[in-house]
Amino acid sequence: MAVVDANVLVLNLDFQPLNVCNVRRAVVLLSKQKATVIEQNGHIITSERLNLQSPSVIRLVYHIKRPRPVVKLTRKEILQRDEHTCQYCGKRGNDLTLDHVMPRHRGGQHTWDNVVAACRACNHRKGGRTLAESHMTLLRQPKRPPATPTYLYSSYVRAGESAWAKFIGMDESAAAS
């Protein structure tokens, strides 16, 4: 990945995380003096006219008022909520499927409380039956994940952006693992 495509955490004026952008967008915000650099990632961006330290965390110089973020019900988010673990047998992996605890053809809804990650074998074994009919149990009850900065941005910290941990409310030991 090129240096200009690396991730940058964008903070509001009050240091609350707003979103993630790439270095190219962050440099535009910095050059227009709409943001300041809080952390750098150690790379250098060179252009025809200047050399610049690549930012890792920037802070806007004005406050953005926006609605609270909501975690959307997607396959990616369900797998993240369930930590890529089958909720029936505990098998971990990236080849998991989604299963409706109460099957849709029996009135089950496509909601956070009814969808879990399942391995192919468990999903096939359960089929279109309820938990009681299939004699299976869940490792933990499904629920909507919180839309906190820790939940929303912790995957970036685990992927190598350890400097972000203090801005999203993660402790250093969780960031290291």
Residue 81 domain boundaries: 75-134
In our burial notation (b when 16+ CB lie closer than 10 A, e otherwise), range 13-27 reads eeeebbebbebebbb
CA distance 142 to 119: 16
Whether residue 130 sits in one domain with residue 79: yes
Q: Quote the pLDDT of residue 16.
A: 92
Examine the domain organization and report whether 113 and 165 are in the same domain. Answer: no
The predicted-structure confidence for 51-62, as pLDDT tens digits, reads as follows 888 999 999 999
Examine residue 108 and state whether it is found in any structural domain, yes or no.
yes
In tens, the pLDDT along 63-78 reads 999 888 888 999 999 9
Residue ranges in the chain assigned as alpha helix (H)? 23-31, 75-81, 120-126, 131-134, 149-158, 165-168, 172-176
CATH code at position 82: 1.10.30.50
Count of domains for the chain: 2
Let me know if residue 127 belongs to a domain. yes
Q: Is residue 139 part of a domain?
A: no
Q: Which residue in the block uniquely carries the two structure tokens 């299963």?
A: 99
Place of tokens 């970036």: 156
Q: Is residue 142 part of a domain?
A: no
151 plus 170 within the same structural domain: yes
Using 70 as the pLDDT threshold, list the residues of the chain that sit under it. Answer: 1, 171-177
* Residues 93 and 112 occupy one common structural domain: yes
Q: What is the pTM of this model?
A: 0.74
How high is the pLDDT of residue 66? 86
- Rounded Cα distance between 14 and 168, Å, is 12
Predicted local confidence at residue 173, as pLDDT: 53
Look at residue 141 and tell me if it is in a domain. no
Which pLDDT value is given to residue 1?
62
